[in-house]
Amino acid sequence: MATEPTALPGQPGQTMQLRDIVLDFRTRSGFGQDKVFRALDGVSLDIAPGQIVGLVGESGSGKTTLGKTMLGVHRPTSGAIHYRGTDLAAAAPSAWKPFRRDLQMVFQDPLSSFNPRFTLGSSLALPLALHAVVPKKQIPDEVASLLTRVGLTPDHAKRYPHELSGGQLQRVAIARAISVRPRFIVADEAVSKLDVSVRAQVLNLLKRMNRETGVGLVFITHDLGVARFLCDRIAVMYFGRIVEEGPTEAIFEEPKHPYTLSLLRARQHDRAPVASDADEAGLAIPDPAKACHYAPRCARRLPRCLVERPRLGEPPHAFACFNPVPAAAAAPAPAVMKA
Ligand SMILES: Nc1ncnc2c1ncn2[C@@H]1O[C@H](COP(=O)(O)OP(=O)(O)OP(=O)(O)O)[C@@H](O)[C@H]1O
185 Cα: distance to centroid of ligand 1 (angstroms) = 19
109 Cα: distance to centroid of ligand 1 (angstroms) = 14
Using most ligand atoms within 8 A of CB, pick from 36, 55, 58, 63 the residue to mutate for ligand 1.
63
Classify residue 312 by burial, with Cβ atoms within 10 Å: 0-12, 13-18, 19+: buried
Give the confidence band of 72 by pLDDT, cuts at 50, 70, 90.
Answer: very high
| Residue of higher predicted confidence among 125 and 167 | 125
Question: What percent of the chain lies above the pLDDT cut of 90?
Answer: 64
Question: How far lies 287's CA from each of 47, 292, 296, in Å?
Answer: 30, 9, 11
Q: Which atom of ligand 1 is nearest to the CA of 240?
A: 14
Phi-psi region of 17 (alpha: psi -120 to 50; beta: other; left: phi over 0): beta
| Residue of higher predicted confidence among 257 and 108 | 257
pTM of the model: 0.88
Name the amino acid, one letter, at 124: L
Distance, in Å, from the CA atom of 68 to the CA atom of 74, rounded to the nearest integer, reads 6
Task: Give me the pLDDT at residue 33, please.
Answer: 76
Task: Give me the pLDDT at residue 10, please.
Answer: 36
- Please state the rounded mean pLDDT for residues 65-82: 95
Provide the 8-state DSSP code for 52.
E
Whether ligand 1 lies within 6 angstroms of the CB of 23 is answered as no
* Nearest-CA residue for atom 16 of ligand 1: 62
Classify residue 112 by burial, with Cβ atoms within 10 Å: 0-12, 13-18, 19+: exposed
Task: Give me the pLDDT at residue 332, please.
Answer: 55
Whether ligand 1 lies within 6 angstroms of the CB of 34 is answered as no
Distance, in Å, from the CA atom of 206 to the CA atom of 74, rounded to the nearest integer, reads 25
User: Above 80 in pLDDT, residue 272?
Assistant: no
- Please state the rounded mean pLDDT for residues 122-126: 97
* Nearest-CA residue for atom 24 of ligand 1: 59
Provide the 8-state DSSP code for 49.
T
Give the confidence band of 282 by pLDDT, cuts at 50, 70, 90.
Answer: low
Give the confidence band of 9 by pLDDT, cuts at 50, 70, 90.
Answer: very low
pLDDT, the chain, mean: 87
Task: Give me the pLDDT at residue 8, please.
Answer: 39
37 Cα: distance to centroid of ligand 1 (angstroms) = 10
Indicate the SS3 state at residue 228.
Answer: helix
Distance, in Å, from the CA atom of 233 to the CA atom of 251, rounded to the nearest integer, reads 8
Whether ligand 1 lies within 6 angstroms of the CB of 129 is answered as no
What's the pLDDT tens digit per position in 136-157?
Answer: 999 999 999 999 988 899 999 9
Distance, in Å, from the CA atom of 19 to the CA atom of 89, rounded to the nearest integer, reads 10
Distance, in Å, from the CA atom of 244 to the CA atom of 18, rounded to the nearest integer, reads 15
Task: Give me the pLDDT at residue 248, please.
Answer: 97
Give the confidence band of 191 by pLDDT, cuts at 50, 70, 90.
Answer: confident
User: Above 80 in pLDDT, residue 286?
Assistant: no
Whether ligand 1 lies within 6 angstroms of the CB of 60 is answered as yes
Whether ligand 1 lies within 6 angstroms of the CB of 69 is answered as no
Give the confidence band of 267 by pLDDT, cuts at 50, 70, 90.
Answer: confident
> Hey, where are the domains in the chain?
257-329
The helix (H) or strand (E) run that includes residue 237 is strand 233-238
Indicate the SS3 state at residue 186.
Answer: strand
Residues in the chain: 339
Q: Which atom of ligand 1 is nearest to the CA of 61?
A: 21
